[in-house]
Amino acid sequence: MTYDLSGRAGLLEILSWARPHDSATERAFCREYLDRITGMRSDAFGNRMLTVGDRPHVLWSCHVDTVAAKGGQQAVGIDENGVASLCDGKAGMSLGADDGAGLWIMINMIAAARPGRYLFHRGEEQGCLGSRWIERNSPDLLCGIEAAIAFDRAGVDDVITHQSFGRTCSDAFASSLALELNGLNRDFGYRPDNTGVYTDTNEYAGIIPECTNLSVGYERQHGPRETLDVVHCEKLLAAMLEIDASKLVIERDPSIVEDDRWWFDRRSHGDAFAEAVADHPALAAWMLEQCGVTLDDFQMEVWAEDMDEGGPYRPLVSS
């Protein structure tokens, strides 16, 4: 039996599952909704993967885990403007559009037989565990891939060029992807953006030429006030069912690490934000916890800043 996750009802069904990494709920979701798809297989870490077409050059990426204190079912509603949110959100909960939206888009692309290699990663919210496992243990899975596109970015208009690796995607590729999307729907305003943080395609930047992250419509991720612009998500899926990936420009050389990590400068945010945090430290700490940042994460960042590390790879907060 294959469950139908098409249409808006399918998207809301995905969002009704709170799926923290390695929880019984995450495992049940994968078993019920991914493993029943014809051709889906799993690696030793539990990442799911499927190839559509002959020797595809594009990898489509999402992750199955969500930020939630515990797994289980949750009530999701949608308002008259097509914005989804939790019906009764509380601390420790999140809508999980990060990355339920990406899951829904990719499942429906598979159903429409759109060519590509599809990777459903585990453990992204815990530090891209699944993609890191693939990069270290089965990089052959990435052979022949020229572009890795993650459906895992907040907002509605970003095509990410930089993540914690540094530059992971050329401006030429990002512009060509934005041009294709905007040409398919005049409501879109996609454009290259260099303020990405950290998602699964970052792990492949040393192997795959073009690695990006695409806005899918969620906001305020990792907390109980997370929302998803369902209308935008539906329009994006419609565009992905038509896009001609052969028109995307492949330019970046993955063997060359560009030292242009200037985009992540804590001081660039100004003194006002720092003063507000200093005035309300307990609130700031609570908000970081709601975003999935642990004390160990924070202490590692403090240590890294004190040491002023100069390496090209510096993992921060996921998504």
Distance CA 166, CA 315 (A): 10
Two tokens at 318?
């996921």
Asked if residue 267 has pLDDT above 50, the reply is no
What single-letter amino acid sits at 283? L
Query: Which of 281, 131, 273, 149 is CA-nearest to residue 216?
Result: 149
Number of domains in the chain: 1
Band of pLDDT at residue 158, cut at 50, 70 and 90: very high
82 class by beta-carbon count within 10 Å (0-12 exposed, 13-18 middle, 19+ buried)? middle
Phi, psi of 130 (to 5 degrees): -70, -45
pLDDT at 281: 82
Asked if residue 319 has pLDDT above 80, the reply is no
Q: What is the pTM of this model?
A: 0.84
Residue with tokens 């242009």: 260
Is omega for the bond preceding 99 within 30 degrees of 0, making it cis?
A: yes
For the beta carbon of residue 7, count every other beta carbon within 10 angstroms: 12
| E strands in the chain | 17-18, 41-42, 48-52, 58-63, 72-73, 76-78, 83-86, 116-121, 147-154, 158-160, 162-163, 166-167, 191-193, 210-219, 227-229
pLDDT at 285: 82
pLDDT at 284: 81
Residue with tokens 């098409």: 6
Here the CATH number for the domain that contains residue 131 is 3.40.630.10
pLDDT tens, 81-136?
999 999 999 989 999 999 999 999 999 999 999 999 999 999 999 999 999 999 99
Q: Quote the percentage of the chain above a pLDDT of 70.
A: 86
Band of pLDDT at residue 301, cut at 50, 70 and 90: low
Q: Is there a domain that residue 61 lies in?
A: yes
Distance CA 195, CA 133 (A): 25
Q: Is there a domain that residue 89 lies in?
A: yes
Q: Is there a domain that residue 288 lies in?
A: no
Asked if residue 169 has pLDDT above 80, the reply is yes
pLDDT at 5: 86
Q: Is there a domain that residue 289 lies in?
A: no
Minimum mean pLDDT range among 90-104, 148-162, 290-304: 290-304
Q: Is there a domain that residue 172 lies in?
A: yes
Query: Which of 73, 93, 97, 71 is CA-nearest to residue 83?
Result: 97
pLDDT at 300: 58
pLDDT tens, 207-264?
999 999 999 999 999 999 999 999 999 999 999 999 999 999 999 999 988 765 544 4
pLDDT at 265: 45
Instruction: Taking residues 264-290, report their average pLDDT.
Output: 67
Instruction: Taking residues 49-54, report their average pLDDT.
Output: 97
Instruction: Taking residues 46-65, report their average pLDDT.
Output: 97
Instruction: Taking residues 272-287, report their average pLDDT.
Output: 76
Query: Which of 50, 200, 14 is CA-nearest to residue 125?
Result: 200
Q: Is there a domain that residue 69 lies in?
A: yes
Q: Is there a domain that residue 274 lies in?
A: no
pLDDT at 260: 59
Q: Is there a domain that residue 271 lies in?
A: no
Asked if residue 270 has pLDDT above 60, the reply is no
Query: Which of 38, 180, 183, 63 is CA-nearest to residue 113?
Result: 38
**Residue 48's beta-bridge partner residues?**
42, 120
| E strands in 56-196 | 58-63, 72-73, 76-78, 83-86, 116-121, 147-154, 158-160, 162-163, 166-167, 191-193
pLDDT at 316: 44
Domain hosting residue 167, numbered range: 7-247
pLDDT at 312: 43
